[in-house]
Structure 1
Amino acid sequence: MKLDIYRRSEAEHKLSYLAVPSGQPIPQEADNVDWHVENMGAELDVSNGHIDDYAIDDPMGQIREKGYAITSVTHQVPEH
């Protein structure tokens, strides 16, 4: 599935990621000026229930439910 990936800096030098189907805007409830483009049109396998590179659990379930998938607060990624 092609996804547009955005990142946001969090507290304690961590990152969160937001994935939306490629070409679609970030849904209004998740739209935030802090999101920065990470990877546009990324071809990602969402069938295994987790996007490892972005620490997103159940991406297909999240996209079906709310139109986007986001990193869980408990899985935020350390900033390099």
Structure 2
Amino acid sequence: MRVDIYRRPEAEGRFSYLAVPEGKAIPQEATNIDWADEARGVEMDETQEHWDDLGIPEPGRQIQKKGYAITSVREQPRG
């Protein structure tokens, strides 16, 4: 699956990531946060249990359920 990836800074030099299917807008419930473009059209395997670099668990399930996948609060990677 090709996704567009957005990033936002968090405390202590950590980041959250948001992945949406390529070309789709950020869903309304996530637009109240300042997301910055990180990458466009990145090929990712949504069947993986975890996208380690982004701290995103169950990306396929999240995208199917919500239309996007987001970093777990407990897994925010360092920049």
Letter in 2 for 1:30: A
The TM-score with structure 2 as length reference comes to 0.93
Structure with greater helix share of residues: 2
Task: Please list every run of at least 4 consecutive aligned residues from structure 1 whose deviation after the TM superposition is greater than 6 angstroms.
Answer: none
Residue pairs, 1:1-80, within 5 angstroms:
1-79=1-79
How many equivalent residue pairs?
A: 79
Instruction: Indicate the percent of aligned positions where both proteins have the same amino acid.
Output: 56
Q: Which has the higher strand share?
A: 1
TM-score normalised to structure 1 length: 0.92
Distance, in Å, in 2 between the alignment partners of 1:53 and 1:26 is: 20
Structure 1: where are the runs of 5+ without partners?
none
Name the CA distance, whole Å, in 1 between partners of 2:32 and 2:15.
14
